[in-house]
A and B are shown apart, each in its own frame.
Chain A
């Protein structure tokens, strides 16, 4: 994070789809707080979870700071330090670690309220790890080493 070089120019909040809609979410202010060492305040407030990851802030920042990447880093820190975060992140992580994919194939609704699955559409079986235990083990080891 090189938040201290931020000029506070305001290009990021003017590009951000969330700043105009969710009170308290402003990438420029997030960078300002990080440069003042107030990461814990950001992690506690929950504000870091409302970024859509649209990357406009990263694209338009003249100092190449990327508020988006700062937010991702804060999220990782918040989760590893046990701050409150949306349950969906734990659920998605658990699903991938245990099954290799975010979600299992399921029958999908048609416009006429029927249901079709992969077989009905003539699709081959969905991709997944051949040796799930090895995939899960590797993920667990890498996560532990980073903690």
Chain B
């Protein structure tokens, strides 16, 4: 299957290990990633608090590019996926705004109808490829490892718009973890927020919110936390040392992985191609165990 690939600002600028892992696993799973030439920001964080019209324009513009390619739009970021979904719903209800946006899109040879299917990582891997294809690609099962799944707010809420997984009892990331041969473990606070969007307003609050989840995962002696959202990963992985300092627990050490990195390891792909050297959390003991397995 072929998809229009939209990494999103955060993955392509900052979380490049995530993008690398996606590019490493997808061709081996039979998914061709078509480049979206000229794509821009999904509009969500920068414009949603500033201008609704600018937000919907930037978002519709990316969907128009995928529409022109005749392909589903595959995005790596929970925020981008929700942004596209909100825009789709809003423009389906507001034909005046849709016409206004299309008038501007015409200048770039684009047109938005709302026809492009949106694909979240869960939808592509879990719903489209499914257990058989994922399990068939696993040649080094992660037997004996126990991980906590962190789906992230925008992949599960609001259910009124139709989200990739259930709002109160999400299970797709858990299934995906289980299909690698590892075991996904339920834990309290699984559907909770990482706090990331408060980074520029109250860093201390982000540390407290994220610290709670890391403490839970550590308390259950899990082998790590697994997510697919670049914003959540930035907090739990990239900021983990700061979180440990802020919550006054220097022993708070939790390996954090992108799901696509874990799956890549189980598929026998080398660590370097999965961007694993960019994880800042203490992943080395886990990698050593997998390497020796």
Interface residues of A (CB under 8 A from B): 17-18, 21-22, 49-56, 58-59, 64, 66, 72, 75-76, 79, 86, 88-89, 92-93, 95-97, 100-106, 108-112, 114, 116-118, 121-124, 126-131, 134-135, 137-139, 141-143, 145-146
Contact = CB atoms under 8 A, between A and B. Distances in A.
A142 B50 contact: no
Contact of A124 (B35, B38, B195, B198): B35
Nearest to B57: A142
A50 B202 contact: yes
Q: How large is the interface on B (under 10, 10 to 19, 20 to 34, 35 or more residues)?
A: 35 or more
B43 interface: yes
Contacts, number: 190
A145 B103 CA distance: 14
Given A105-B12, A134-B107, A76 B52 contact: yes
Contact of A127 (B38, B50, B153, B202): B38
Contacts of B284: 111
B195 A17 contact: yes
Contacts of A122: 20, 273
A92 B54 contact: no
Contacts of B243: none
Nearest to B65: A127
B94 interface: no
Contact of A55 (B10, B158, B196): B158
Given A76-B52, A142-B57, A127 B7 contact: yes
A101 B13 contact: yes
B57 A138 contact: yes
B89 interface: no
A18 B58 contact: no
A102 B50 contact: no
